[in-house]
């Protein structure tokens, strides 16, 4: 399945250096299906999911700091 971004440039502030991500075959299919449904590229969706996960992780860590 070929996913092509609607915009041909990197998001503002994002690095253009690619990072390798290893996923199980069923995970790849799930990412591709979600990206296609949203009419986005796999790269866009993976970046979105990573940023969302980072935000959740930071909130979790912040809540564990003793006050």
- N-to-C CA span, the chain: 49
7-52 pLDDT, tens digit each: 556 667 776 778 888 999 999 999 999 999 999 999 999 999 999 9
Question: Is 20 domain-assigned?
Answer: no
Question: Which structural domain, as residue segments, surrounds residue 32?
Answer: 25-64
Distance CA(66)–CA(64), nearest Å, equals: 6
On whether the pTM is more than 0.75, the answer is no
Question: Is 35 domain-assigned?
Answer: yes
Cα–Cα separations (whole angstroms), residue 56 to 15, 41, 53, 61, 66: 21, 23, 5, 9, 18
Question: Is 50 domain-assigned?
Answer: yes
How many domains does one find in the chain?
Answer: 1
């Amino acid at each position: 399945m070929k996913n092509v971004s609607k915009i041909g440039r990197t998001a503002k502030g994002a690095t253009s250096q690619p990072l390798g991500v290893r996923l199980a075959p069923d995970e790849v299919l799930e990412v591709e299906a979600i990206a296609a449904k949203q009419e986005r590229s796999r790269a866009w969706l993976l970046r979105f999911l990573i940023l969302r996960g980072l935000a959740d992780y930071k909130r979790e860590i912040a809540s564990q700091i003793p006050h």
